[in-house]
């Protein structure tokens, strides 16, 4: 599917005049604007328009088989990807604009992987039914469902409370969407003391994080792409047991069904299985390092990095979907 008319937003009251460019950051020379308004009568003026940039595709292969001894089996695999500029997920023009991911400011958002890109997905099902007598008024049905999927895509962006206005914003905002520059070495990022850690200690931690990230390690000395990374692949296994009892009520066949469901069975078997991760940031945006202001020259950005660990150690866990759950049910089915 090719994008024909997707939403795009511009803040036309933000002065596009460049105040200065970042310096002493390797190749990260993004502009910083004056943060002035063109017309002070209005705090902001958001214009909605359209873009034809982007696309979506999904490829699926599936198999299904019914066996004569009561077993049904199915298996499918899907790979999907999508590119978009604006996801169009918010309810207000202002937040639609604030949600645009960029390097050179929200008025020039980048095309990148969509938040809704599917990635890999595997679905499997086994269902076995057993009739206990010829009248078929006592049936046991056992179903095992498997769902494996790539986690949601996410972007590495600059964090820190003072990072709110590093691009063309004329007022505070709760969201920062500035994609990071991946430093090739310590000379490409100016770190300052934070949380009792020296710049050297912070660089050792940041360098280790970059080296252990499959995407970042291959893109040192570059800007990251929007949604460059995927959260870890997650597998879920559900078990369902149904026992039907046939009832003859006033000459009509009714059924009484007792059910037992276990959701996320894998997590019941092993607490480290069936775990779904989320990004410790803002709407699938991972704040990798924090902006702390500028050096004495006024153009060299300063940062801090105090995050310990790599890989899944730095991710959050979705407490609800990562826990196994059990449900008992009783249902009366009229004919």
pLDDT in tens, 135-175: 667 889 999 999 999 999 999 999 876 655 566 565 555 57
pLDDT band for position 313 (50/70/90)? confident
Query: How confident is the model over 91-106, as a mean pLDDT?
Result: 88
| pLDDT score recorded for residue 171 | 55
**Is pLDDT of 8 > 80?**
yes
Count of beta carbons in the 10 Å neighbourhood of residue 259: 15
| pLDDT score recorded for residue 2 | 84
Tokens coding 30: 């993004």
**For 72, phi and psi rounded to 5 degrees?**
-115, 135
**Is pLDDT of 280 > 60?**
yes
Range among 9-18, 122-131, 166-175 rated most confident: 122-131
| pLDDT score recorded for residue 163 | 55
Query: How confident is the model over 287-298, as a mean pLDDT?
Result: 92
Of residues 250 and 273, which shows the higher confidence score? 273
User: Which has the closest alpha carbon to 57: 36, 83, 35, 32?
Assistant: 83
User: Which has the closest alpha carbon to 155: 224, 90, 213?
Assistant: 224
User: Could you tell me where the DSSP H helices lie in the chain?
Assistant: 93-98, 199-211, 265-269
Size of the chain, expressed as the number of residues it contains: 335
Secondary structure of 46-77 in the HEC alphabet? EEEEEECCCEEEEEEEEEEEECCCCEEEEEEE
Per-residue model confidence as pLDDT tens digits over 188-234: 999 999 999 999 999 999 999 999 999 999 999 999 999 999 999 99
Query: How confident is the model over 238-255, as a mean pLDDT?
Result: 88
Give me the percent of the chain exceeding a pLDDT of 90: 66
Query: How confident is the model over 103-121, as a mean pLDDT?
Result: 94
CA distance 304 to 306: 6
| pLDDT score recorded for residue 36 | 85
| pLDDT score recorded for residue 117 | 96
The model's pTM is 0.88
Angle at alpha carbon of residue 111, lines to 108 and 116, rounded to 5°: 130
């Amino acid at each position: 599917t090719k994008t024909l008319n997707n939403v795009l937003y511009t803040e036309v009251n933000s002065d596009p005049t460049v105040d200065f460019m970042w310096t002493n950051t390797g190749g990260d020379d993004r502009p910083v604007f004056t943060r002035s308004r063109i017309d002070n009568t209005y705090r902001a003026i958001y214009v909605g328009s359209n873009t034809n940039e982007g696309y979506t595709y999904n490829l699926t292969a599936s198999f299904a088989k019914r066996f004569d001894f009561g077993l049904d089996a199915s298996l499918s695999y899907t790979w999907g990807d999508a590119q978009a500029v604006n996801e169009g997920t918010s309810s207000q023009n202002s937040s639609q604009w604030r949600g645009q991911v960029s390097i050179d400011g929200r008025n020039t958002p980048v095309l990148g992987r969509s938040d809704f890109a599917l990635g890999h997905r595997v679905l499997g099902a086994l269902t076995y039914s057993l009739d206990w007598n010829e009248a078929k008024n006592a049936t046991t049905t056992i179903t095992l469902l498997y769902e494996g999927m790539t986690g949601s895509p996410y972007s590495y962006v600059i964090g820190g409370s003072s990072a709110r206005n590093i691009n063309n914003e004329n007022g505070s905002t709760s969201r920062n969407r500035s994609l990071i520059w991946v430093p090739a070495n310590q000379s490409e990022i100016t770190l300052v003391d934070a949380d009792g850690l020296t710049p050297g200690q912070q660089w050792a931690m940041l360098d280790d994080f970059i080296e252990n990230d499959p995407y970042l390690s291959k893109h040192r000395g570059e800007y990251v792409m929007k949604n460059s990374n995927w959260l870890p692949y997650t597998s879920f296994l559900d078990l369902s047991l149904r026992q039907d009892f046939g009832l003859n009520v006033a000459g009509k066949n009714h059924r009484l069904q007792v059910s037992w469901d276990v959701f996320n069975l894998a997590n019941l078997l092993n607490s480290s299985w069936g775990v779904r991760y989320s990004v410790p940031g803002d709407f699938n945006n991972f704040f990798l390092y924090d902006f702390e202001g500028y050096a004495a020259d006024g153009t060299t950005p300063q940062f801090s990095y105090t995050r310990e660990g790599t890989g899944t150690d730095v991710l959050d866990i979705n407490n609800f979907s990562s826990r196994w759950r059990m449900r008992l049910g009783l249902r009366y089915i009229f004919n």
